[in-house]
Amino acid sequence: MHYSGVTRSSRVKQVLAVGIWLAGCAGAQMSAEFNLNQSVYLVGEAIRADVCIVNHATTPFLVGSGINRQNGLFFQITDRRHDTLTLSQPGASMISNLLLPGGETHRAAFELDEWYPLGKTGSYIATAMVRRDDRRYESVSRAFDIVPGLEIKTAIQLFADLPDSQRKLCLVYFVRRQAEYIFLRITDTPGDRVWSTLELGRLLRTTPPTIEISADGLVTIVHRATQDVYLSTRVKSTVRGVELMGQEQIIDRRAAEHAPVEQQPMAGEPQKPASSKSSWWWPFGGSGEKSDTGK
């Protein structure tokens, strides 16, 4: 006898399979989940993962020295060639000490680029893993991309103490969250060490940004954020490192006073079609059309 094209034997096997799966889920002592703050990053940006670990067992989950040293939180990250990235400290848990009682949840945030070599462009897949005794519990995997962005202005900083080295401070353009943003990428050569890539805020490309470096290493970047607001960012760049000093708004009062007021059509009056002419400034030539370089 058949039921909707499925034999009694097949239906029994399906029920047994579902029962085994539910029993496995019910018997899981741990679970892990994480989210990334972006799906696409620029080279040198911090890749933040917000992690949630749940102890479903009645006994505590211990991470530390001694018999618990094998327990902990780990990530498995693979590139587009399916090669697994090596942890900066092989075998070390990303959580050094933890006492998580039964039924409790532990939340933490990590910058994955500090633990894994994520300084190159490409596509990656990350999976969080909790190891408890001789068992491993994996999260849902998440994919992300690392892209170079588009360079729009560059300045070179030289150091008297390091005549064979130089620092490249590059302003990079990228589209994120359906808006245009500007970033500062700082790289030392030789060695191509990327210090950091900082998001400086939204960018209005009608005016080219500027970047200046003083003799004492104070870097000042000014870019247009809106029609009447500029942002001035200060970064201290020395041989020892790079430090963000602050950012402030500069109001372009002339632009604010002369900004055209959009006239609303009267009731029943037909609206004028939007002009397709672009007024964007673009440093690479061409028509100046807006480019979809990111997400």
Taking the C-alpha atoms of residue 59 and residue 61, their distance in angstroms, rounded to an integer, is: 7
User: Quick check: is 226 in a domain?
Assistant: yes
Taking the C-alpha atoms of residue 145 and residue 125, their distance in angstroms, rounded to an integer, is: 9
In this structure, are 105 and 200 located in the same domain? no
In this structure, are 52 and 96 located in the same domain? yes
Whether the pLDDT of residue 26 is over 60: the answer is no
In this structure, are 53 and 136 located in the same domain? yes
Specify the higher pLDDT residue, 201 or 165. 201
In this structure, are 125 and 164 located in the same domain? no
- pTM, to two decimals: 0.71
- 255-277 b/e with 16+ CB inside 10 Å = b? beeeeeeeeeeeeeeeeeeeeee
| Residue 214, Cβ density class (10 Å: 0-12 exposed, 13-18 middle, ≥19 buried) | exposed
User: Quick check: is 11 in a domain?
Assistant: no
In this structure, are 136 and 222 located in the same domain? no
pLDDT in tens, 159-195: 888 888 899 999 999 999 889 999 999 988 887 777 7
Give me the pLDDT at residue 27, please: 62
Give me the pLDDT at residue 142, please: 97
HEC letters along 195-239: EEEEEEEECCCCCCCEEEECCCCEEEEEEECCCCEEEEEEEEEEC
User: Quick check: is 20 in a domain?
Assistant: no
For residue 162, what are its two tokens?
A: 């390091």
pLDDT range class, residue 69, cuts 50, 70, 90: confident
Cα distances (Å, whole numbers) of residue 28 to 4, 130, 215: 35, 12, 60
Whether the pLDDT of residue 18 is over 80: the answer is no
In this structure, are 86 and 54 located in the same domain? yes
pLDDT in tens, 235-291: 999 988 889 999 999 997 676 555 554 444 444 444 444 443 333 344 433 333 443
From first CA to last CA, the distance across the chain in angstroms is: 54
In this structure, are 121 and 226 located in the same domain? no
User: Quick check: is 221 in a domain?
Assistant: yes
User: Quick check: is 295 in a domain?
Assistant: no
User: Quick check: is 10 in a domain?
Assistant: no
Q: What is the mean pLDDT of residues 212-219?
A: 93
In this structure, are 135 and 34 located in the same domain? yes
User: Quick check: is 22 in a domain?
Assistant: no
Domain that holds residue 196: 149-257
Q: Into how many domains does the chain fold?
A: 2
Among 54, 74, 169, 81, which residue's Cα sits nearest to residue 128? 74
Cα 282 to its chain centre, rounded Å, is 25
In this structure, are 111 and 198 located in the same domain? no
In this structure, are 190 and 239 located in the same domain? yes
For residue 186, what are its two tokens?
A: 């700082």
In this structure, are 137 and 231 located in the same domain? no
